[in-house]
Chain A
Amino acid sequence: MDYSRPALVERLAAEYALGTLRGPARRRFETLLPAHPALASAVQAWQQRLQPLAAPVAPVAPPANVWTGVQRRLFGEPVPAPGWWQRLGLWQGFTGVALAGVLGLGVLLSQPPEVQPPLVIVMNSTEAGTPFVKTGFVASISADGGALVLKPLGTLTLEQGRALELWAVPGKGAPRSLGLISAQQQATTLLRAHLLKDTAAFAVSLEPAGGSPTGAPTGPIVSAGTI
């Protein structure tokens, strides 16, 4: 089929979104989608058009074994004790925190930039980390210590199944996790209170996908820089 014909693209995208494109034609169409932006955007437009149809579909709570199955398939983990996800308060709290984060970012972005210059720290790659990550990072921290932007200095590549985690290292005591950082080229932005309080250095460690399971760095430190 000639996928450069707009009318054909439009018809296939519509029937794909509606669900009537089936069998080998559907599978062929799906394999073409990632490489053809025109197809992909026609599909997205149709999915968006039809989305309101999904609103009246009544939600049905899935049984608990679905979630444990998802975890087993993705992480191969032992099943957590039943009922933990029913601790609604935790989730509401978490959602609140996430929402506060979004609002906080909005407020931050809507305010004129601080006149105080940010603190810039170059984090060099370490000898122990070189086999895994070949680049250092540069961290810029707002003068009030409330926001941090971390960017790789060179090309960042990471093995499948690994993640990079950023830590604030105090003069003495255990490092604090600041969260996972993007394994792509883009910058990672973190909003935390008191990023600079008691912090003597920042470090990036290599961790299994999903981050350190223990709350402390488990893999080698691949990059570090002192304030």
Chain B
Amino acid sequence: MSLPTTDWSARSQELATLLSRVALGDRQAFEALYRATSSQLFGVVLRINSDRAQAEEVLQEVFVNIWRAAGGFDVARSQPLTWLNSVARNRAIDSLRRRAAEPATVSRFTGLDDDEGGERDLLEAMPSADAGPLELLDQAAQANALQQCMQALSGQQRSSLALAYYQGLSHAEVAEQMSQPLGTVKSWVRRGLLSLRACLDRAAGLVDSVKGAA
């Protein structure tokens, strides 16, 4: 997957510049990067590990990690925010195995196709774009495509993916949360991911054909 950096937002460009300077050991750039992203990454960590003290510890690890691994960030292969977000998610997920066996995560999720479900709210809040053909090429279009593809999944598939992504739940925890057998949940997740990729690939094909025609 190659990412044409010319299509990036000013924010992405700025974060990429900061990351490249952090890779050279530039502390000023590191502080600027912390200023620009710590609230967002703390939000991500707190979703997965809701223990406030642990989440603060995890966020420290995240930035220690960013300082040490910034040289491995490859502008040609990922967007800076995706890379930063993935570092945060991975450290947060790692912190869960240190947690007591009983997960403290309490989901406000209520039902499979229930519009009042907490997770549904998050999905609906994803940026959507009633975009024209050219705007389809930007990030909002990616978000829009993902939102539409999420909506195309079955309720169970969508719910299992949302619980795993937003709450950091394992298969077993998703199964418990949804009162379903483990095997059933595993297959919802697997099929959900497969359908999602097929749907996103179709959407990307459409964007490419518009791009080709333009």
Residues of chain A touching chain B, judged by Cβ–Cβ distance below 8 Å, are 10-11, 14-15, 17-20, 22-23, 26, 30, 41, 44-45, 47-63, 65-67, 69-70, 73-75, 85, 91, 94-95, 98-99, 101-102, 163, 179-183, 209-211
Contact = CB atoms under 8 A, between A and B. Distances in A.
Nearest to A10: B197
A60 B42 contact: yes
A112 B159 CA distance: 54
Contacts of A73: 60, 64
B193 A69 contact: no
B178 interface: no
Interface of B: 1, 3, 10, 13-14, 17-18, 24-29, 31-32, 34-36, 38-40, 42-44, 46-48, 56, 59-60, 63-64, 67, 77-79, 81-83, 85-86, 89-90, 93, 97, 122-123, 125-127, 139, 142-143, 146-147, 161, 164-166, 168-171, 174, 189-190, 193, 196-197, 200
Given A51-B79, A57-B43, 18 more contacts: A18-B189, A47-B86, A49-B196, A50-B165, A52-B143, A57-B47, A62-B56, A66-B42, A66-B59, A69-B60, A73-B60, A74-B64, A94-B28, A102-B17, A179-B26, A180-B26, A181-B24, A183-B24
B147 A52 contact: yes
A62 B32 contact: no
Nearest to B141: A52
B59 A62 contact: yes
Nearest to B127: A55
A22 B146 contact: no
B146 A53 contact: yes
A61 B45 CA distance: 12
Given A47-B82, A48-B1, A49-B196, A57 B44 contact: yes
Which A-B residue pairs are the 6 nearest by beta carbons? A52-B143, A56-B125, A59-B39, A62-B42, A14-B193, A70-B63
Contacts of B81: 51
Contacts of B166: 53, 57
A94 B29 CA distance: 9
A171 B127 CA distance: 57
Nearest to B37: A59
A53 B126 contact: yes
Nearest to A209: B25
Contacts of A58: 43
21 contacts: A14-B193, A18-B189, A19-B168, A44-B82, A47-B82, A48-B1, A50-B165, A51-B81, A55-B126, A55-B143, A57-B166, A63-B56, A70-B34, A91-B35, A94-B28, A95-B32, A98-B29, A99-B14, A183-B24, A209-B25, A210-B26
Contacts of A183: 24
Contacts of A54: 44, 85
Q: Which DSSP category, helix, strand, loop or mixed, fits chain A's interface?
A: helix
Given A20-B189, A61-B42, A44 B18 contact: no
Contacts of A17: 86
A182 B24 contact: yes
A18 B161 contact: yes
Contacts of A44: 1, 77-78, 82
A209 B83 CA distance: 24
A49 B93 contact: no
Contacts of A59: 39-40, 42-43
A205 to B, nearest CB: 14
B28 A62 contact: no
A33 to B, nearest CB: 10
Nearest to A213: B27
B39 A61 contact: yes
Given A19-B89, A182-B24, A48 B32 contact: no
B79 A48 contact: yes
A66 B45 CA distance: 13
Nearest to B13: A102
Given A51-B79, A73-B60, A98 B18 contact: yes
